[in-house]
Copies of this chain bind each other. A is one copy, B any other.
Amino acid sequence: MHSKFASRVNRVKSSETREILKVTERPEVISFAGGLPAPELFPIQPIQAASNAVLEENGAGSLQYSTTEGYIPLRTVICGRMKSIGIESDINKVLITSGSQQAIDLTGRLFLEEGDTIICESPTYLAAINAFKIYNPSFVEVEMDQDGMIMEELEDQLKKHPETKFIYTIPDFQNPTGRTMSRSRRERMIELANQYDVLIVEDNPYGAVRFAGEAIPPVKHFDTEGRVIYISTFSKIFAPGLRLGWICADELFIEKYVALKQSVDLHTDSFAQMITFKYMELYDIDAHIETIRAVYKDRCDVMLRCIDEFFPANVAHSVPEGGLFIWVELPKSLDSRKVLEECLKNHVAFVPGAPFFPNGKGNHTLRLNYSNMNEDRIVEGMRRIGEVLRQQIG
């Protein structure tokens, strides 16, 4: 009955990362592969208090069907939090989604026609590539340096590709590179989007987890024509298991997103929305985020020191100011998939970089996650990867 499937299904495969993650579920494996937050930091007791308060105060409401747009008090708090980083909005510009992954998928569904072009950073977020692929666009990759996407190249590509629908960017502590786009480039990106009449999809899951350097306002802060669709999530600052993200965009767009979301899943879990709101009412989420930042900073520092200590000298890497990832470029003669095979025998894992390039390259690159392992395991895991690298470089 294979013949029954729609052709779009051929464009979707179970991601390579996902298969690796299955291997890494074994407790003996030291995994730098996933993008998982540190579970020991989840505010379990406060969440329990918040759940109990929700059920006691408005139990029936939290368990009943609710509106597609999302819980108004939660959207109100989100508007306040966005204001503090430079985004002016109101609840009519905010839609609650079932994680930011849903926001990404709905964005593809709302905008992408077969043959449209998406311009993205090279490399870019794997699960966004997979979500957009369903709608059969072309991907045009723009090179990055330490300050993010290179604007001269972006302009060249916009000239070459008038069929571009949007620029997809992760400006803060990018997945997979950990790099951050400079302020001047954000301003320039808006100018270019206005000039070439394209949208910008700003995916910002990590922005709040900055542990070094100066905060830079989101690209949406500089938006002059309502061209930026801003996507964020509670997954990295609260609890990913609750699947809570949001889209902030002009009402013209949000109305359409709401109609699409209604047919996709009616609405996002009401109980999870009310717990998250109640938690922020009862507790100081910013103090909680400070804890996350401090722990991730230490883990990142340890991992960077291990690169210096254990990895061969001809290995390049990013130096993130926040987020969850370090990007590593091995000598071009090495294939990170082969390095991974050897590493798995030594019970240590990472994600090869190639799948993050939508048009295929980067065989010598890899992504390391530092948020999900404690410092001892980071040191031990990095030592093991270092050994494999030294052997393979020979």
Show the binding face of A for B, using Cβ within 8 Å.
1-2, 4-9, 12-15, 18, 34, 36-37, 39-40, 42, 44, 47-48, 51-52, 55-56, 59-66, 68, 98-99, 101-102, 105, 109-113, 127, 130-131, 133-135, 165, 199, 226-227, 235, 239-243, 252-253, 255-256, 258-260, 262-272
Q: Determine which of B2, B6, B48, B226 lies in contact with A135 in the assembled complex, contact meaning CB atoms within 8 Å.
A: B6
Q: Is the CB of B65 within 8 A of A241?
A: yes
Q: Which residues of B contact A105 (CB under 8 A)?
A: 263-265
With A39-B63, A113-B6 in contact, is A242–B263 under 8 Å at CB?
no
Q: Which residues of B contact A270 (CB under 8 A)?
A: 241-242
Q: Which residues of B contact A240 (CB under 8 A)?
A: 63-65
Q: Is the CB of A112 within 8 A of B6?
A: yes
- Chain B residue at minimum C-beta to C-beta distance from A68: B18
How many of these chains are in the complex? 2
Chain B min CB distance to A266 (Å)? 5
Q: Determine which of B101, B242, B259, B265 lies in contact with A12 in the assembled complex, contact meaning CB atoms within 8 Å.
A: B259
Q: Which residues of B contact A15 (CB under 8 A)?
A: 262
Q: Is the CB of A42 within 8 A of B60?
A: yes
A-B contacts, 30 listed (Cβ < 8 Å): A1-B252, A2-B252, A6-B112, A12-B256, A12-B260, A14-B259, A14-B262, A15-B262, A39-B64, A42-B59, A44-B55, A44-B59, A44-B60, A47-B59, A47-B63, A48-B51, A51-B51, A51-B52, A52-B52, A62-B241, A63-B240, A99-B265, A109-B134, A127-B263, A130-B262, A131-B264, A242-B270, A243-B265, A269-B269, A271-B272
Q: A15-B262, A51-B51 are in contact. List 20 more A-B contacts (CB 8 A).
A: A5-B256, A6-B110, A6-B113, A13-B259, A14-B255, A39-B60, A39-B61, A39-B64, A42-B64, A44-B63, A47-B59, A48-B56, A52-B52, A63-B242, A64-B241, A101-B264, A131-B264, A134-B260, A264-B264, A265-B265
